[in-house]
Amino acid sequence: METERRSRPRRVWRRRLAVAMAVLFAAGTAVRLGGLESGIFLVPLVSFTPYFALAALVMLAIAALLRSRAATAIMLAVCVSLAWVVLPRALGGSADAPAPASGDASGTGTGTTSGADTGTSSDTASGIGTSSGTASGAGTASDAGTSSGTASDAGTSSGTGTASASSSAGGRTLRVLTANLNGGRGDATVIVDLVRRLNVDVLSIQELTYSARDRLSAAGLATLLPYHVGRADYRGPEGSGVYSRYPMTERTGLFQPVGHHMPVVEVALPGGSAVEVVVVHPVAPVPSTVPEWEAGIATLPPAPSSGPPRILAGDFNATLDHAVFRRLLDTGYTDAAASTGQGLTPTWPHGRSLPPLVAIDHVLTDGRGSAAATRVFDVPGSDHRALFADLRIQG
C-alpha cells in the first residue's frame, strides 16, 4: 500500500509530462500544416518534417505505455496529420504514371556511378549502357547564348535506342539530370558518365565554375550534349548552365531571378512543340538570407496552361514541407520524385560526416509533363546528389 502511494505521484507527473510533450508535437504539426514557418529557426527545422513524423510515432507509443488518454489522443491526431502530408511522397502516383519505354532508365530509388542501385559513390562507370555513337559537328559551349553545331548523330545509348526523342502513349521522352557541383568541385567525369549511361537529353548544372566547365568539356560532355547556354563563374555558387542534346535558344524576360544565375531555355524536343527548361538555384536559407531565399522561390515562374511545356530543375534549397515551395507546386507543378514514390529520398548533404538528410533538389513538370521514373546518384566532390528524371511530355 505504501509503495503504491509513493508511485502514484510519479505516474501523475509522467502523464503530465507526456501531455506537455504531446502539446509541443501538436504545435510543431500546426506550424507545418499551416505553413507558419518563418525566420532563421523554423525555416530550417521544417525541412526535417519526415523525421519529426517518426519521432511522433515514438511519442505516441510512449503515451500509450503511460496510459495517458489525453497525450495518446493528441499524438494520434498528430500522427494522422503528419502521415497525411508525408506518406504521399513515398507512395507516389505510380499507378497512373506512364510506363517507361523499353530500355529506358526505369529504375527508381538511389543509384551510384557504377550503375548499380547500391554501392559506393567512388566507383566509376562500369560501362552499362555506354554510348554507341558520337556526335558529329558538335559545337563548343559558350558562356551565354546558344552553341553552334548539330544534334544529329549525338551519342546514343545501347540501352535506350537512338538520340531522337521517343514517343509513347504517355508522350515524348525527355530525360533530365540536375546536379549541383559544389562550387565547381563535383567530379566532371562522373557527371559525363551519368549523361552517357542514362542517355540524358538535358543537363541542369548549378555552381558551375570556369574550371568545372572545362573539365566537363574535356570529359566529353560536348560530344553527348552539344548545345549549351549558361554563365560560369570563377568560384562559388553563382554560375549555372544547361546542356542539351537538341538545339535550344535562351529566353529572357520570363521572370526576375532572385538568387544565383538561373538561365531559361527552350529546347527543340522532336515530335512536337519546344520545351521550356528553367535552371533553379535560389540562395540557401541561412540566417542572413532567409528573406532572399523565400523571394527566390516565390518569384519563380508559375506553371503555364498554354505555350511550351515548362520544366523547373535544380537546387531549390527547399523541401516539400516548405510553404513557399508548396505554393509554387499549387500553381500546377508536379514534383517528379514525389510522383514516382521517391519524394523521401534525400539529396543533401552528401560527402560529409552525416548521411544525406533532406531532399532539396527537384525536377518539376507542369500539367503537360509527368515522370516515369526518378533516381539519385552520388557525385564525388559535391555536397549534393544528382537527380535524374525520366519524363514524358505531352503536346
Backbone angles phi, psi at 195, to 5 degrees: -60, -45
Q: For the sheet with 275-280, list strands across it.
A: 248-250, 264-267, 275-280, 310-315, 361-365, 334-335
Q: What pLDDT is attached to residue 169?
A: 59
| Residue 33, SS3 per DSSP | helix
- What is the torsion angle, in degrees rounded to the nearest 10, for the CA atoms of residue 307, residue 313, residue 316 and residue 321? 80
Whole-structure pTM value: 0.83
Q: What pLDDT is attached to residue 9?
A: 74
| Residue 146, SS3 per DSSP | coil
- Residue with grid cell 566532390, as numbered in its chain: 381
Angle between helices 49-65 and 2-34 (to 10 degrees): 160
Report the chain's mean pLDDT, rounded to a whole number. Answer: 85
- What single-letter DSSP state applies at residue 145? S
Amino acid present at 348: W
> Residue 117 half-sphere exposure, CB side, CA atoms within 13 Å?
9
Q: What pLDDT is attached to residue 4?
A: 58
Peptide bond before 282: cis, by omega within 30 degrees of 0?
Answer: no
Q: How confident is the model at residue 83 (pLDDT cuts 50, 70, 90)?
A: very high
Percentage of residues of the chain with pLDDT beyond 70: 78
In the chain, which segments carry CATH 3.60.10.10? Answer: 109-393
**Cell numbers at 273, concatenated:** 512543340
Task: Identify the residue with better confidence: 97 or 73.
Answer: 73
Q: Which range among 6-15, 102-111, 278-287, 370-379 shows the weakest confidence by mean pLDDT?
A: 102-111
Task: Identify the residue with better confidence: 354 or 138.
Answer: 354
Q: What pLDDT is attached to residue 98?
A: 41
Q: What pLDDT is attached to residue 148?
A: 37
- Residue with grid cell 570563377, as numbered in its chain: 234
Nearest CA to 334 out of 306, 307, 309, 298 is that of: 309
Task: Identify the residue with better confidence: 354 or 25.
Answer: 25
State in words which class domain 109-393 has.
alpha beta
**Cell numbers at 158, concatenated:** 545501347
The answer to whether the CB of 378 falls within 8 A of the CB of 360 is no
Mean pLDDT of 291-316: 97
Q: Which range among 151-160, 184-193, 202-211 shows the weakest confidence by mean pLDDT?
A: 151-160
